[in-house]
Amino acid sequence: MPEGHSVHRIAARFRSTFVGEVIRASSPQGRFADGAALLEGKVMQDCYAVGKQMFARFADDLHLRVHLGIYGAWDFSTRLTDGEPDTVRDGQTGEYADAASGSMGAPRAARVARVRAGEEEVTGTSGTEGVWPPEPVGAVRVRLLTDRVCADLRGPTVCEVITPPEAAAHLERLGPDPAVDGKRRGWTRFREKAAHRRTPIGSLLMDQSMIAGIGNIYRAEMLFRAGIDPYTRTVDLDEAQLRTLWDDWCRLLPVGIDTGVIVTRTELRGRAKQAMLDSVADRHHVYGRAGEPCRVCGTPISLADMQGRKLYWCAGCQPR
């Protein structure tokens, strides 16, 4: 499931390529035809993320709310102009993605750079020429299109057009997000929401009404970094432990937004750091490493089910 850093990156991509543009909207799949009709021909005025949810604001007080859920992803295609290099700059990171052949306008040949943005970002080239806009691939719930950029959404849990009061109600139900609330205000909100809960901290960190954006990977890694057993009742944690978790989320989220990947072994430097970035297997302390020795104490990493999701922890570094 895409975690908060991915959704912030997607919103940033929309801000850099769609905001201020008249949007052509359609639903190739047909399931969002009424919503697409409401957005057709409207200017996108803003796009932002809170936790795992994205909100795009359009003219006439319309908001598009998207929650990618477990399987959702956006596919971005960018039409390259004549003389433009076969790469396209990422609006969030400033990095360049590979360009693939494709096209735009009344059907004519054009080169197209593609990025699939979901749980991770994938770029690549097709090596063939096509037409613009590219043909929809798979069950595309909604297509948003400008003269230069096409965004196709597939597999979301939520995709709906809502009013400003409805958007405000959804935002009110979400917990603090460091990229939105800031460190100080977010901590105050998190402490007030969480401090007296009897829920195990491993469950509470996944509750988007308590703290927004944390998914399965960040949950496991943050608890390991804090040395907290995931089954500890939140009410039994002292304020310093809660503050440690919040401060770590404030530290890790910007790294994820900048790099596009979940990086939690932040102590690494030099070649070890690059190796960690290049290999998913080397990227985390406990997540995905059930039965393997802890990188710190050697204890085999534990695996259990918590509310239908896999939970990883080290019994040696996270004692009860």
pLDDT tens profile 136-159: 999 999 999 999 999 999 999 999
Distance of alpha carbon 113 from alpha carbon 96, whole angstroms: 10
Q: What is the DSSP string of 204-256?
A: HTT-TTTSSS--HHHHHHHHHHHT--TTSBGGGS-HHHHHHHHHHHHHHHHHH
Examine the pLDDT at 99 and tell me if it is beyond 50: no
- Going by pLDDT thresholds of 50, 70 and 90, the confidence category of residue 299 is very high
- Going by pLDDT thresholds of 50, 70 and 90, the confidence category of residue 118 is low
pLDDT in tens, 198-224: 999 999 999 999 999 999 999 999 999
> Which of 15, 24, 243, 309 is an active site residue?
309
- 257-264 mean pLDDT: 90
Whether 62 contacts 42, CB under 8 Å = yes
The two counts, helices (H) then strands (E), for the chain are: 9, 15
> Which of 2, 28, 133, 176 is an active site residue?
2
Q: Among this protein's residues, is 42 annotated catalytic?
A: no
Q: What pLDDT is recorded for position 311?
A: 97
Distance of alpha carbon 284 from alpha carbon 98, whole angstroms: 27
* High-pLDDT (> 70) share of the chain, %: 85
> Which of 9, 13, 42, 52 is an active site residue?
52
Separation in Å, CA 263 to CA 138, 156, 164, 240: 31, 25, 35, 23
**CA torsion, points 292, 295, 296, 298, in degrees to nearest 10?**
30
Q: Among this protein's residues, is 166 annotated catalytic?
A: no
Whether 211 contacts 174, CB under 8 Å = no
- pTM attached to this predicted model: 0.86
Whether 172 contacts 77, CB under 8 Å = no
**Please, how many CA atoms are within 13 Å of residue 224, restricted to the half-sphere of its CB?**
27
pLDDT in tens, 160-189: 999 999 999 999 999 999 999 999 999 999
Whether 51 contacts 212, CB under 8 Å = yes
Examine the pLDDT at 107 and tell me if it is beyond 80: no
Whether 199 contacts 292, CB under 8 Å = no
Which residues, other chains included, contact 29 with Cβ-Cβ below 8 Å and sequence gap of 6+?
A: 136, 139, 140, 141
| Burial tier of 154 (Cβ tally within 10 Å: 0-12, 13-18, 19+) | buried
- 237-260 mean pLDDT: 96
Q: Among this protein's residues, is 2 annotated catalytic?
A: yes
Separation in Å, CA 295 to CA 3, 20, 262, 286, 317: 24, 48, 18, 8, 10
Examine the pLDDT at 93 and tell me if it is beyond 90: no
Would you give the distance in Å from CA 312 to the centre of its chain? 21
What domains can be seen in the chain, in order of their start residue?
A: 4-167 (3.20.190.10), 174-313 (1.10.8.50)
Q: For the chain, how big is the Rg over CA atoms in Å?
A: 21
First to last CA, the chain: 28
Q: Among this protein's residues, is 265 annotated catalytic?
A: no
- Going by pLDDT thresholds of 50, 70 and 90, the confidence category of residue 123 is low
Separation in Å, CA 167 to CA 19, 142, 200, 213, 316: 18, 19, 30, 17, 44
